[in-house]
Amino acid sequence: MAASSRAAPAFLRLAAHPLRWRLLAELAGSDLRVRELVTRIGQPQNLVSYHLRLLRDGGLVTASRSSFDGRDSYYHLDLARCAQALAGTGAALHPALGMGGGGSTPATSANGQRVAVLFICTGNSGRSPIAEALLRHRTAGAVEVTSAGSRPGPRLHPHSVRVLRDRYAVDIAGQRPRHVDTLTGRRFDYVITLCDRAREVCPEFGDHARRMHWSIADPASAGDRDQAGYPAFVRTAGDIDTRIRHLLPVLATRQSVTQGG
């Protein structure tokens, strides 16, 4: 009787509402703006905004100003927080159900077929090469991964090279930025923009390509090439690595579908 009278965990109370569950499901695939969520959910903006506020108050969703249009905000689902909350919810029902999440499932290849992923930001000197390197590192090369920029710079940012070398033992010192136009005609299963500006000008890569957006601030804006700017790259690389670890099961599912079809 005592166990049955306990209140449901906070995550369950938040996620059980049908509209909030739909919002979580949409944000699980991509960072989105309110008007995009309104279109996808098919509910009035004031109602969508109300439930987004509840999800933000509950710590499941965060919001950041768009670097393309400061009047806009991108909403992001904190998958790591959701994994912890889900584990806590299971444990509240029975200790044996308190299994942790985190998405460490590797994407594998077979029969020469690999899922192809393209990361795009503006300069292809910070966020997108970090994402490219970390996805390749996390999958041991089982995923065909590329990065490009809408307005690539002449070289990688030194802090990008440093953070990958120091924190992840990955060397990209010999890599050079490339323009996204050089990839015209290439087939990609996933096209992931990491920059709000790049999202607005990202070219199409066919109906088969799944478009996703990760709204990640440019770490170079926190400081140029001096020592003071390096912590921003550490934080950005950590954010990208978390997102990639939660992307891996999605890629593994796509891989099995591709091989099965």
Round to whole Å and give the CA distance between 182 and 188: 14
> pLDDT tier at 98 (50, 70, 90 boundaries)?
low
- Which whole-number Å values give the CA distances from 167 to 67, 145, 164, in the listed order? 27, 20, 6
Query: What integer best gives the mean pLDDT of the chain?
Result: 89
Percentage of the chain with pLDDT > 70? 86
Q: The domain 116-260: what is its CATH number?
A: 3.40.50.2300
Tell me phi and psi for residue 73, to 5 degrees: -130, 145
> Count of residues for the chain?
261
In this structure, whether the domain defined by 10-97 belongs to CATH 1.10.10.10 is answered with: yes
Active site residues: 121, 195, 202
14 and 54 Cβ atoms separated by less than 8 Å: yes
Read off the pLDDT of residues 162-181 as tens digits, 9 standing for 90 and up.
Answer: 999 999 999 999 999 999 99
- pLDDT, tens digit, 9 for 90 and up, residues 228-246: 689 999 999 999 999 999 9
Domain ranges of the chain: 10-97, 116-260
